[in-house]
Amino acid sequence: MKYLRLLLLPFSFLFWVFSSIKNFLYDFEIIKSFKVDKKIICIGNITSGGTGKTPITIAIAKALLTRQKKISVLLRGYKRTTKGYYEVNEIDPDKFGDEPVMIFSNLPDVKVIVSEDRVFAARKISESYDVDYILMDDGLQNRKIEKDFTIVVMDEENASFMDKIYLPAGNLRESKNRLRTYSTIIKNYKFKSDQSKSISDSKTFNCKYILDGFYNINNEKIALEKLTGKNVLAFCGIAHPRSFFEMLNQLKLQSNHNISYSDHHYFTADEIDGIIGLMEQKKSELAITTEKDFVRIKKYNNKFSDNGLGLLYTKVSAEIENLDSLINAIIKLN
């Protein structure tokens, strides 16, 4: 399927032209970016989808909180059914989007805001809340708002030649030459076992994922030993499902069937019934999914228990090497 995208190469040329003109206009201040009173820390990528920004955003937010810093997190709220500015205050991915809800559940004391208008939202956060930093998840290419510190997340586990071709034929959002204009680069190796430790400069950091554990629908942690020997069905709707399935395989869980959906997939009741039917057919005792998927299917949890089946989700955290150095660089902004 990805090779068929190459038919879109003429449109990729147009994307490159538009991106280059836009950056030229902003770089030479022919068009000016809007500046807000609070410090904007933007965590984004130069390729589309699946680089792991959200776990990294959570890790940086937690590190700032331990330094007694007050923060807010701002996201667009991709694939939400609403429009406009909202403060996330409940587990409702339809209203807010799955990633904002995931951040809200991991950072309950942080103001999590969704808005497609980043300038309006950042200004409103600045006026309404006593915060030191606004962490903007995604939006590096949004030049309308001025950022004080920029973090580019590079997916080192799933890198491919498609990352060298502009959208829509490939995954590239802007030229890799622009990496030098950003404050920091985080190379995210996720669960890749042959992770490189070589860092060529002080602005680059390595990152890997750590499995925090398995959790049930009551958010109770389940020991891995209790899963040994059980027949498992795994499913997810993320950009790179292979990472998730390989993690389960490394843990030697007996997954007798893997199902993948598109990134940010919103499950219907019929699809959940189909998963349950497949579990019964395959004699699976448990279904395991990701934390991001879990927030999207929370309203269907009872379907599993009503059929005598278990549902677990995995929680992972991003471990950034030399995180203190990165946090110190952010704090120096003040």
Q: Is there a single domain that holds both residue 128 and residue 54?
A: yes
User: Smallest Cα–Cα separation from 196: which of 152, 157, 237?
Assistant: 157
The total number of structural domains that make up the chain:
2
Q: Is there a single domain that holds both residue 191 and residue 231?
A: no
Q: Is there a single domain that holds both residue 199 and residue 217?
A: no
Q: Rounded CA gap, 185 and 188, in Å?
A: 9
**DSSP code at position 34:** B
Using DSSP, state whether 272 is helix, strand or coil.
helix
Tokens encoding 197: 């430790």
Q: Is there a single domain that holds both residue 108 and residue 167?
A: yes
Angle at 263 between CA 186 and CA 72, to 5 degrees: 55
The residue range of the domain holding 305 is 210-318
Q: Is there a single domain that holds both residue 236 and residue 308?
A: yes
Supply the angle between the helices 98-106 and 53-66 in degrees, to the nearest 10.
Answer: 30
Digit-by-digit pLDDT tens for the chain (334 residues) are: 566 787 899 999 999 999 999 999 999 999 999 999 999 999 999 999 789 999 999 999 999 999 999 999 999 999 999 999 999 999 999 999 999 999 999 999 999 999 999 999 999 999 999 999 999 999 999 999 999 999 999 999 888 889 999 999 999 999 999 999 999 999 999 988 665 566 668 899 999 999 999 999 999 999 999 998 889 999 999 999 998 999 998 888 878 899 999 999 999 999 999 999 999 999 999 999 999 999 999 999 999 999 999 999 999 999 999 999 999 999 999 7
Q: Is there a single domain that holds both residue 327 and residue 313?
A: no
Kindly report the CATH number assigned to the domain that includes residue 272: 3.40.50
User: Smallest Cα–Cα separation from 137: which of 60, 75, 58, 187?
Assistant: 75
Q: Is there a single domain that holds both residue 185 and residue 250?
A: no
Q: H/E element holding 319? A: strand 310-320
Tokens encoding 230: 């059980």
Q: Is there a single domain that holds both residue 40 and residue 160?
A: yes
Strands 39-44 vs 149-155: parallel, antiparallel or unpaired: parallel
Q: Is there a single domain that holds both residue 33 and residue 94?
A: yes
Q: Is there a single domain that holds both residue 261 and residue 199?
A: no
